[in-house]
Amino acid sequence: MAGLGVVSQLVGFVAQKFLPVPSVDNPSANANVRLGTYGEVAVNNYLMKKHALAAEGSYFVSTNTPGTVAVAAGPYPTGYANTAGWWFFQNWNAAGGPSAYVDYLKLIVTAAVGATPTAWNFAVIRDVATPLSLQITTAHITSIVPVNTNGGSSNQSKCLFGYQNNATASVNVAPTSASAVVGRACIGAGLGVVGDEYVLDFGATDPSPIQGLTAAEAASSGRKVGVLPPLMVPPGQQIMIVPWWPGAGTSGLGYEFEFTHFER
């Protein structure tokens, strides 16, 4: 139609429960579409947190069998090495398929680190995805397929999560020339207390402070959170999370874990 810059028409309505107040819904009435700065349609988000992702069948979780120890002892890296990855997340969707967005990695301490480390360090390396059987030369990595958190969804993840599962260190080949370090976190110090939760939160908007604790307070379990950049893993790519503990002993850190992501 001449003289109009943009003509938009919305056809069809999502099933909804109409509320009589504060306004009456009238699907047949014409109404202006509210647009954002870049022309996107503005909508009210009635489902807060991440429930909308679960509702559409896009949210997935990877975890160990509850009550089991994923890693029972050391040795633990005391310095950074890009050949000492402990956690791998790979997107094996076909080219042009859904990208994977990393949400968080939670570690639940079941046995404390043997000697007192001065820090709990983590680095995240993005790279081209390579099958773990070809990427890891000394393999003590268990791989699992993430589970959809929506029990009514038929969507299955095409991603893979691998985790260090043994007291013997794993060794991976060096990252390719296409790799990049895309995250770095340091979460406190000390042994780690049984029951502690250490969380790497990707894309958090409200950084959580790491509280200073007295010796008595540190003896009680708690949670420490490290904030990292938001990460999107396209099809055919992966991230590897490398930990190291300066001053750590050769045994300790039994842990369980929970890793979450969504695919869109």
Of 221, 220, 228, nearest to 187 by C-alpha is 228
In the numeric block, which tokens belong to residue 6?
Answer: 């943009």
Residue 220 reports pLDDT greater than 80: no
- Overall average pLDDT of the 146-156 stretch: 96
The predicted pLDDT at position 78 comes to: 87
Contact 262, 60 (CB under 8 A): yes
Mean model confidence pLDDT for the chain: 83
Contact 105, 200 (CB under 8 A): yes
- pTM for the full predicted model: 0.83
